[in-house]
Amino acid sequence: MKLNKIIFNNNKFDGLICLNGNIPNRDFFENLEGVTIIAADGAADYLHRANIIPNYIVGDMDSINPSTLQFFFERTNLFQLSDQETNDFEKAVLFALSLNLNNLLIVGINGGLYEHSLNNWSVLAKLSRITNLCVLDDNRYAFNISKSTEINLSKGEIVSIIPQTKVKLITKNLKWNLDSEVLEIGEREGARNIAISDNIMLEVIEGEALIFVDSRFPYAPESIN
Mean pLDDT within 169-176: 97
pLDDT over 70 at 84, yes or no:
no
Q: Are residues 130 and 23 in the same domain?
A: yes
Mean pLDDT within 23-43: 91
**CATH number of the domain that residue 94 is part of:** 3.40.50.10240
Q: Is 60 a domain residue?
A: yes
Q: Are residues 73 and 106 in the same domain?
A: yes
Q: Are residues 181 and 195 in the same domain?
A: yes
Provide the sign of the torsion angle of the four alpha carbons 158, 205, 172, 179, taken in this order. positive
Cβ atoms of 8 and 219 closer than 8 Å: yes
Mean pLDDT within 206-219: 95
Instruction: Decide: pTM greater than 0.85.
Output: yes
Mean pLDDT within 87-107: 94
Q: Are residues 125 and 27 in the same domain?
A: yes
The torsion angles phi and psi of 15, rounded to 5 degrees, stand at -150, 145
pLDDT over 70 at 67, yes or no:
yes
Confidence of residue 1 (pLDDT cuts 50, 70, 90): low
Confidence of residue 56 (pLDDT cuts 50, 70, 90): very high
The torsion angles phi and psi of 120, rounded to 5 degrees, stand at -65, -35
The torsion angles phi and psi of 29, rounded to 5 degrees, stand at -70, -15
pLDDT over 90 at 217, yes or no:
yes
User: Percent of the chain scored above 90 by pLDDT?
Assistant: 69
Domain that holds residue 94: 13-138
Q: Are residues 118 and 156 in the same domain?
A: no
Q: Are residues 35 and 120 in the same domain?
A: yes
Q: How many domains are there within the chain?
A: 2
pLDDT over 90 at 196, yes or no:
yes
Whole-number CA gyration radius for the chain: 18
pLDDT over 90 at 78, yes or no:
no
